[in-house]
Amino acid sequence: MQNENKPSWRKNRVTAELDIEYPIIQGALGGFSSERLTSAVSNFGALGTFGAYSKDPEGIRQSIAQIRSLTSRPFAVNLWVSMEDEAAFRSSELEFQRSLSHIENELRALSAQPPKFEPYHPANFEDQVSVLIEARVPAFSFIFGIPRREVLDEFRRIGTTIIGTATTVAEAKALEDAGVHIVVASGFEAGGHRGSFLREAEESLTGTFSLVPQVADAISLPLVAAGGVADARGVRAAFALGAEAVQMGTAFLACEGSGATDTHRSIILNGEASLTGLTRGFTGRLARGVRNRMMEMWNSASEDILPYPLQRQMVRALSIPAQAAGRSDLIPLWAGQSASLTRHSDATEFLKSLVSEIERETKLIF
Where in the chain are the domains?
Answer: 8-84+122-258+342-365
| pLDDT tens-place string over residues 253-296 | 999 999 999 999 999 999 999 999 999 999 999 999 999 999 99
Q: Which residues pair with 24 in a beta bridge?
A: 246
CB atoms within 10 A of CB 154: 16
Per DSSP, helices labelled H in the chain are 13-18, 35-44, 57-70, 93-100, 104-109, 125-135, 149-158, 169-178, 208-218, 232-240, 250-253, 262-269, 293-299, 310-324, 347-365
**Residue-level pLDDT at 123:** 87
- pLDDT the model gives residue 30: 86
| pLDDT tens digits, 308-341 | 999 999 999 999 999 999 999 999 999 999 999 9
Residue 4 banded pLDDT, cuts 50, 70, 90: low
Give the per-residue pLDDT at 279.
98
pLDDT in tens, 59-83: 999 999 999 999 999 999 999 999 9
Residue 90 contacts by C-beta under 8 Å, 6 or more apart in sequence?
none
- % residues pLDDT > 70 (the chain): 97
Mean pLDDT over residues 86-105, rounded?
Answer: 97
Instruction: Check residue 363 and give its pLDDT.
Output: 57
CA–CA dist 147, 80 (Å, integer) = 9
pTM for this entry: 0.95
Q: Give percent of the chain with pLDDT exceeding 90.
A: 95
Q: How many CB atoms lie within 10 A of CB 164?
A: 28
pLDDT 10s digits, 148-177:
999 999 999 999 999 999 999 999 999 999
For the chain, the farthest-separated pair of C-alpha atoms sits apart, in whole angstroms, at 65
Tell me the DSSP string of 282-321: TTSS-EEEE--HHHHHHHTTGGGPPPTTHHHHHHHHHHHH
Span 137-155, average pLDDT:
98
Report the pLDDT averaged over residues 35-54: 98
Q: Residue 284: its pLDDT value, please?
A: 98
Tell me what pLDDT residue 5 has.
Answer: 66
Dihedral sign, Cα of residue 193, residue 262, residue 141, residue 182: negative
Distance CA 166, CA 187 (A): 9
CA distance 83 to 122: 8
Domain 8-84+122-258+342-365 sits in CATH at 3.20.20.70
How many angstroms separate the CA atoms of 161 and 45, rounded?
Answer: 16
pLDDT digits (tens, 9 = 90+) for 24-44: 999 999 889 999 999 999 999
- The three-state secondary structure class of 184 is strand
The mean predicted confidence, pLDDT, of the chain is 96
Pairwise CA distance, residues 59 & 51, whole Å:
12
> Contact at 8 Å (CB) between 26 and 41?
yes
In the beta sheet, which residues pair with residue 76?
49, 139
pLDDT band with cut points at 50, 70 and 90 for residue 362? low
Q: What confidence category does residue 364 fall into, taking pLDDT thresholds of 50, 70 and 90?
A: very low
Between 168 and 2, name the one with better pLDDT.
168
Average pLDDT rounded to a whole number, residues 188-215: 98
Mean pLDDT computed over 348-353? 98
Pairing between β-strand 223-226 and β-strand 182-186 as defined by DSSP bridges? parallel
Mean of pLDDT values over 196-203: 98
